[in-house]
Chain A
Amino acid sequence: MTNILAIADKEIKGYFASPIAYIVIGFSAILYGWFFINLLYYFDRISMQAGGGFGGPQSVNVNEQLISPLFLNVSVILLFTLPLVTMRTYSEEKRSGTIELLLTSPLTDLQIVIGKFLGGLTLYAAMLAVTLVHMGFLFAFGNPEWRPVLSGYLGLLLMGGCFLSLGLFISSLTRNQIVAGMVTFAVFLLFWVINWISTFMGPTTQNVLNYLSITEHLNDFTRGVVDTKHLVYYLSFIAFSLFLTVRAVDSERWRG
């Protein structure tokens, strides 16, 4: 455990010593703020309509009409920012030769992988922490339910974990961080749009594609539902990606 923390600690310091952490947090804060304002105006309008009795929705719910779509929008931000977080984790170590230090230290491959994953997850959590400010405004001036907010954050954390673990795996395959970043972005995009085609497919294919989509599983979390089905999906996705990363590092050893 101390070994894992040592690696995670090193990763976090590495993020904040380079511009990456600031770019990722700043960029996502701006985008998130933009989404927030947009949805706030939209929510403002529909609630006025509902209140004015112009045939709008019968009732408005800040959780369903504002917070839930806001959380779903976060997946767009993750698509662009998380490849930046993971692209250098392994490839940079390989390129600069520091991987030799890690692999000749009394650490297991799994400890290194988990440490790196936790480091990325911490940066991602810091990124999410910025959104608490917006949430604070909603709680100050509105009356949202806190349970769906909490489950929404849990969902976001898990979804980000999936992206991070996948990015970590891709980074472990190359020593070129640009390649790692591009491939990670492409694969994230694929997992994001994989169910777009599902409406044209038969029921079985439809179900499979919907199940594979990383973002599809977020819906229930943002509505306050913590379903084991989704938990299993996210956790097994993370575990499998981390397992693949360990195998990739190990096979690299054999090939030299």
Chain B
Amino acid sequence: MIEVQHLTKRYGPTTAVDDISFRVEKGEILGFLGPNGAGKTTTMRVLTGYMPPTEGRAVVAGYDIFDQPIEAKRRIGYLPETPPLYPEMTVSDYLLFVSRIKGVPRAERKARVGEVMERTRVADMANRHCGKLSKGYRQRVGLAQALLHNPEVLILDEPTAGLDPKQIIETRQLIKQLGGDHTVILSTHILPEVSQTCGRVVIINKGRVVAVDTPENLTSRLRGSETMFVQVDAPAASDVRTALLGVPGVTEVSLAETRGNLASYEVNSGSGRDVRRELASAVVSSGWGLLELRPLRMSLEEIFLHLTTEDTTAGTGADTTADTTVDTTEEVAQ
């Protein structure tokens, strides 16, 4: 549905997006994750035909965004970082105008606008001027605008920015509903959003793709070994560490915390090997109390930090250019 090949975007001497390639299948929800200034907005702007790429190409809904922009744009709904509202128009007038320029047939416009306002829960503000809306409503009117012509592809730049927690949950549910019928790309730097809504994640940093995978695979792939968290209630003198190390498959045991008789350990084992049964019986057979035993998963936050900071430390030569890239993209994003 969306195919991005070797996309590069330079602003003068600085490179905002550097040789990005990825695919999004029909009905998929793809999360676009990266720190501020990583090139998310630039990539989305290229995909929506707002700006042409310096190199590479992007095919959206079967049309090359650069060669057949009108056909491609007919099939794209786009919510930019700042919702593009005209402050002097009322919400319903604004949505009618957008439906008109998006090519919704005249007879269907009113019905479409009503439908979309219901869906994004802005119907109660239909006659309010866009300039007088709260941030949450502005964001949702922006989303409504992107849905008007029922596009095959939705590109949403930080759709939940500025919403309160209840609205965030509602919006995520809405986006989830939209997946299936629509192909969705959403950018965010809020990590739980990705694991909750997206089927696949592209992590981007300093204009480069650093990882593409499902949230689950990312969490497990990044760990060479399995780590168990074990909390044991044992008398002070007992040597729990040695007992745990004696379990076959365990490679490393480190003490995480002690509180009185309670001691917590992190136990590493070779990857793909489940040592939970052996660990439990080792603890119990020594006569100690097993209070907790659970696998430790790297959270998406950790993965994200891991991926995006690892890149910084690798090669200092590239760093100077990369830093300026970040600056310009932030500027552009404003």
- Where the two chains meet, the residues of A that have a C-beta atom closer than 8 Å to any C-beta of B are 2-3, 6-7, 9-10, 13-14, 17-18, 96-108, 253-256
- CB contact under 8 A between A105 and B102, given known A96-B87, A100-B84: yes
Q: Is the CB of A104 within 8 A of B73?
A: yes
Closest to B334 in A: A97
Separation in Å of the A125 CB from the closest CB of chain B?
21
Q: List 18 A-B contacts (CB under 8 A).
A: A2-B100, A9-B97, A17-B89, A96-B84, A97-B80, A97-B82, A101-B80, A101-B84, A103-B49, A104-B49, A105-B102, A106-B103, A108-B70, A253-B50, A254-B51, A254-B52, A256-B9, A256-B45
Closest to A14 in B: B88
Closest to B155 in A: A104
Separation in Å of the B160 CB from the closest CB of chain A?
18
B91 contacts the other chain (Cβ, under 8 Å)? no
Q: Residue among B42, B89, B100 with the most chain A CB within 10 A?
A: B100
CB < 8 Å A-B pair total: 80
How many of chain B's residues touch chain A, expressed as a range? 35 or more
- CB contact under 8 A between A253 and B70, given known A104-B76, A107-B101: no
Question: Could you tell me the distance between the alpha carbons of A100 and B98 in the complex, rounded to whole angstroms?
Answer: 12
Question: Could you tell me the distance between the alpha carbons of A3 and B52 in the complex, rounded to whole angstroms?
Answer: 22
- CB contact under 8 A between A97 and B84, given known A6-B101, A106-B74, A254-B51: yes
| Prevailing SS type, chain A contact patch | helix
Cβ contacts under 8 Å, A108 to chain B:
70
The 3 closest A-B pairs by CB, nearest first: A101-B84, A17-B88, A98-B84
Question: Could you tell me the distance between the alpha carbons of A122 and B129 in the complex, rounded to whole angstroms?
Answer: 24
Question: Could you tell me the distance between the alpha carbons of A17 and B87 in the complex, rounded to whole angstroms?
Answer: 10
Closest to B74 in A: A106
Q: Is the CB of B86 within 8 A of A256?
A: no
Cβ contacts under 8 Å, A253 to chain B:
50-52
Question: Could you tell me the distance between the alpha carbons of A103 and B102 in the complex, rounded to whole angstroms?
Answer: 11
Q: Residue among A14, A102, A103 with the most chain B CB within 10 A?
A: A103
Closest to A7 in B: B101
- CB contact under 8 A between A101 and B73, given known A17-B88, A253-B52: no
Cβ contacts under 8 Å, B12 to chain A:
255
Closest to B90 in A: A17
Separation in Å of the A17 CB from the closest CB of chain B?
4
Question: Could you tell me the distance between the alpha carbons of A168 and B10 in the complex, rounded to whole angstroms?
Answer: 28
Cβ contacts under 8 Å, B100 to chain A:
2, 6
- CB contact under 8 A between A101 and B145, given known A10-B97, A17-B88, A18-B88: yes
Cβ contacts under 8 Å, B74 to chain A:
106
Closest to B332 in A: A256
Question: Could you tell me the distance between the alpha carbons of A96 and B89 in the complex, rounded to whole angstroms?
Answer: 14
Separation in Å of the A61 CB from the closest CB of chain B?
46
Q: Residue among A2, A9, A17 with the most chain B CB within 10 A?
A: A17
Within the complex, which residue of B70, B86, B88 is in contact with A106, where a contact is CB–CB below 8 Å? Answer: B70
Separation in Å of the A8 CB from the closest CB of chain B?
11
Within the complex, which residue of B50, B51, B73, B86 is in contact with A14, where a contact is CB–CB below 8 Å? Answer: B86
B48 contacts the other chain (Cβ, under 8 Å)? yes
